[in-house]
């Protein structure tokens, strides 16, 4: 499980390798970027290296494009590496929301793990961060979904982030630094992770999820660089809902309120599919990440409304992906997500300005869904906008 497994993150690699080379590895890292682009993998690689008894120099892969002639990496053979790879290194701690189920306090266990609570942070991080490592070398804590750390949990961590004791390292994983309190941000060393190239996501989907090239192409376009997200969508068969959603756009032109209704139903279907195998942030199929197997992999964690909101957002992202293809074709480019869909070409006859309005309306709807506004009203209004933009010229023509 070498560093080179983390692909297309040259800047992150460079930052980390420079720190390793200088011998001054920051004790509090913040890995920021969208889920499923390699943040958790990188954190696991770094953790293994910090725990390894005999780190070595390796040649960086050519495609890493770094100017460095060598990288530090774990040996992969010492007892620490073996323990780590087996998922049982005593000095490696994965911290995630649903750890509350393993908390000694029954009341904490019973609570729904909507956020990463101060109880989890106190018991699983702060109470043991100061103890000396079981195997002498280091203690590494990887905190997943740090954007969901409650303010009190973040405040409780401040002192530890400021001055992590001895050989302790904390790696916070977050979607973006801005989602953490400024006091937390300023105490961490930031490393930004980018989206993965679409072609890479597409190829990996075909290979790992064994889906057909059309589905892979669409999903790669949908996720905009997150392989982890694409894998999850592939597993839940999301591509199956695309034909109905293409139809629904046409329906919006004739009967906007019927289209809105259909979207609400589609979102429910997607939520059911997602509920069957909900993986919180499994990242890029990283089974070697060590730690607890039972990592947030239980649906009842959030209330059902959360899953439904997420499904509504996914549904809107699909609409947006379809409309972006319409936009591409309208300005003379080839469609990226749906190369063989006849309707895309038809709708591309609308004025580019109107198509842009429709795409903006989807973005507005996403924003409102995130604010927990009423989905029915949001979808009604979106369908009416799509009808008035995408199909405005069509109506004029038929008169
Ligand atoms: Zn080793």
pLDDT mean for each 10 residues of the chain (399 residues): 85 93 94 94 97 94 75 95 95 95 95 92 95 92 96 96 92 95 96 94 94 96 93 94 95 96 95 67 36 36 71 96 96 94 94 94 94 93 96 56
Nearest partner of 253 among 152, 391, 129, 156, judged by Cα: 391
Distance CA 375, CA 266 (A): 12
What is the Å distance from ligand 1's center to 145 Cα?
28
- pLDDT for 293 equals 33
Q: What is the pLDDT of residue 373?
A: 87
Report residue 266 as tokens: 């589609």
1 Cα–ligand 1 center, Å: 11
DSSP 67: S
**Which of these, 42, 34, 38, lies nearest to 16 by C-alpha position?**
42
Q: What residues contact 181, with CB distance under 8 A and at least 6 apart?
A: 151, 154, 155
pLDDT for the residue numbered 396: 45
Ligand 1 center from residue 92 Cα (angstroms): 14
Report pTM. Answer: 0.79
Distance 54 CA to ligand 1 centre (A): 5
- Determine the distance separating the centroid of ligand 1 and the alpha carbon of 91, expressed in angstroms: 14
CA 132 to ligand 1 centroid distance, Å:
20
Tell me the C-alpha distance between 95 and 172, whole Å: 9
List, as ranges, residues with CB under 5 A of the ion ligand 1.
52, 74-75, 78, 81
Beta-strand pair 28-32/189-192: parallel
Contact 10, 66 (CB under 8 A): yes
Distance 69 CA to ligand 1 centre (A): 21
Look-up: residue for tokens 């309190």? 181
Residue 399 has what pLDDT? 38
Given this model, what pLDDT does residue 305 score?
74
Structure tokens belonging to residue 131 = 């103890």
Q: What is the pLDDT of residue 274?
A: 81
Report CA(90)–ligand 1 centroid distance (Å): 15
Q: Please tell me the distance between residue 50's alpha carbon and the centre of ligand 1 in angstroms.
A: 9
d(CA 85, ligand 1 centre) in Å: 10
């Amino acid at each position: 499980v070498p560093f080179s497994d983390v692909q297309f993150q040259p800047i992150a690699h460079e930052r980390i390798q420079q720190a390793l080379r200088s011998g001054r590895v920051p004790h509090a890292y913040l890995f920021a970027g969208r889920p499923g682009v390699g943040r958790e993998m990188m954190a696991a690689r770094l953790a293994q290296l910090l725990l390894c008894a005999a780190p070595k120099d390796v040649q960086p892969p050519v495609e890493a494009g770094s100017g460095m002639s060598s990288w530090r990496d774990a040996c992969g053979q010492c007892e620490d590496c073996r323990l780590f790879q087996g998922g049982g290194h005593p000095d490696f701690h994965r911290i995630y929301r649903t750890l509350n189920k393993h908390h000694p306090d029954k009341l904490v266990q019973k609570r729904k793990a909507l956020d990463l609570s101060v109880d989890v942070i106190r018991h699983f991080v702060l109470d043991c961060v100061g103890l000396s490592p079981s195997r002498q070398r280091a203690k590494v804590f990887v905190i997943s979904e740090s954007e969901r750390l409650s303010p009190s949990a973040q405040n409780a961590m401040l002192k530890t982030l400021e001055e992590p004791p001895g050989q302790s390292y904390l790696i916070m994983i977050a979607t973006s630094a801005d989602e953490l309190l400024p006091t937390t941000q300023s105490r961490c060393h930031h490393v930004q992770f980018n989206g993965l190239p679409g072609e890479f996501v597409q190829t990996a989907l075909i290979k790992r999820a064994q889906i057909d090239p059309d589905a892979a192409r669409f999903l790669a376009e949908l996720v905009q660089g997150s392989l982890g997200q694409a894998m999850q969508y592939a597993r839940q068969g999301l591509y199956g809902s695309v034909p109905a959603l293409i139809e629904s756009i046409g329906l919006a032109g004739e009967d906007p309120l019927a289209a809105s209704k259909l979207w609400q139903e589609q979102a429910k279907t997607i939520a059911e599919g997602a509920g069957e195998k909900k993986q919180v942030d499994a990242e890029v199929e990283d089974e070697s990440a060590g730690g607890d197997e039972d990592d947030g992999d239980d649906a009842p964690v959030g209330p059902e409304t959360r899953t439904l909101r997420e499904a509504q957002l996914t549904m809107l992202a699909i609409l947006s992906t379809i409309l972006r293809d319409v936009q591409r074709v309208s300005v003379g480019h080839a469609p990226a997500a749906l190369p063989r869909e006849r309707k895309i070409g038809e709708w591309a006859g609308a004025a580019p300005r109107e198509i842009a309005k429709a795409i903006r309306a989807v973005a507005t709807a996403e924003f409102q869904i995130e604010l927990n506004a009423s989905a029915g009203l949001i979808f009604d209004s979106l369908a009416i906008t799509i009808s008035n933009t995408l199909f405005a010229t069509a109506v004029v023509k038929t008169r």
